[in-house]
Amino acid sequence: MNDSTSGESVISRVVRLMSAFDRSVPTMTLSGLARRSGLPLTTTHRLVQELARHGLIEKVSNDKLRVGMRMWELGARGSTALGLQEVALPFMEDVQATVRQHTTLAVLDRGSVLYVERLSAPESPLDAAHIAQRMPVHAASSGLVLLAFSDGAYQEEILAQPLEAVTPDTVTDPAIIRRHLAEIRARGHVAIPGIGHMDWVGIAVPVFGASGRIAASLNAIVPRHEANVPAIIPSLLTAAHGISRSLGADNRLPGSRRL
């Protein structure tokens, strides 16, 4: 699979090129792309030509390049993200109508939190947790709730990673995080302020799938000093139950019936 003297495969270099594009830098020139991806200009040129032939990269005006619609299509078609988005969106609208703050849906993927859906509150100034963005697991309430309901081996794998202090309030001590995880399992929700962004608190609850396994976390992101956390949790829990039910989870309470 290698076709270069560097020994790096075509697939690995294509991933490097595509990773160079993001929300803050959606277009760039060929030389900019080479620089951001760390690949030689000739290699970048050759790969971009073929990626463009397949529509995976598009040329826009002023010699700028961007991610092609075909790349978006191949990633979206048949993906778990799209299935989750479709199921969750109506329930997220209900939360947004009630809470009027950024409402997001996140999963764990490859050792970090990945946001798969978001409804933005136009009046909220927080520019973070956008769709397809990532956060470290320990620096997001969504990450902590996802980790709390994951199996123990996976928890230890995550806690064995270097735990960066994203803000002064980020908890980086595995022992304290383990205690948080036990509390989250007992309470069924989490809201630790400032761990990802100093002035904000993420409020997160679990969403379960058909197997009863954790499938996602549903979150609201609220200004830290105005956050009415006790009022937001019931809204999130209600919507998360709806999403879990739609995903096929059996989340009826044993004693609950219509009399």
Q: How many CA atoms lie within 13 A of 6 on its CB side?
A: 9
Q: 93 vs 164, which CB is nearer to a copy of itself?
A: 93
Pick the binder of a copy of itself from 34, 88, 107, 140 (CB under 8 A): 107
How far apart are the C-alpha atoms of 214 and 148, rounded to whole Å?
9
Pick the binder of a copy of itself from 70, 100, 178, 224 (CB under 8 A): 70
Q: Within 197-236, which residues bind a copy of itself (CB under 8 A)?
A: none
Q: State the burial class of residue 243 (Cβ atoms within 10 Å of its Cβ: 0-12, 13-18, 19+).
A: buried
Applying CB under 8 A, does 147 fall inside the site for a copy of itself? no
Q: Residue 106 forms beta bridges with which residues?
A: 115, 217
Stretch of 44-52, 141-149, 217-225, 247-255 contacting a copy of itself, by CB under 8 A: 44-52
Q: 87 vs 171, which CB is nearer to a copy of itself?
A: 87
Minimal distance, residue 57 CB to a copy of itself, in Å: 11
Let me know: does 202 contact 236? Beta carbons within 8 Å.
no
How far apart are the C-alpha atoms of 125 and 197, rounded to whole Å?
12
Stretch of 109-117, 160-168, 194-202, 233-241 contacting a copy of itself, by CB under 8 A: 109-117
Stretch of 34-42, 54-62, 138-146, 181-189 contacting a copy of itself, by CB under 8 A: 54-62
- Give 111's DSSP letter: T
Nearest Cα residue to 236 out of 248, 253, 252, 222: 222
Stretch of 5-13, 135-143, 159-167, 215-223 contacting a copy of itself, by CB under 8 A: 5-13
How far apart are the C-alpha atoms of 121 and 226, rounded to whole Å?
15
Nearest Cα residue to 139 out of 113, 115, 110: 113
Applying CB under 8 A, does 79 fall inside the site for a copy of itself? yes
Q: 28 vs 191, which CB is nearer to a copy of itself?
A: 28
Q: 195 vs 216, which CB is nearer to a copy of itself?
A: 216
How far apart are the C-alpha atoms of 34 and 50, rounded to whole Å?
15
Dihedral sign, CA of 95, 80, 163, 150? positive
Binding-site ranges for a copy of itself (CB under 8 A) = 1-3, 9-12, 14-15, 18-19, 21-23, 25-27, 46-47, 50-51, 54-56, 58, 66-83, 86, 89, 93, 107, 109-110, 114, 116, 119-120, 131-134
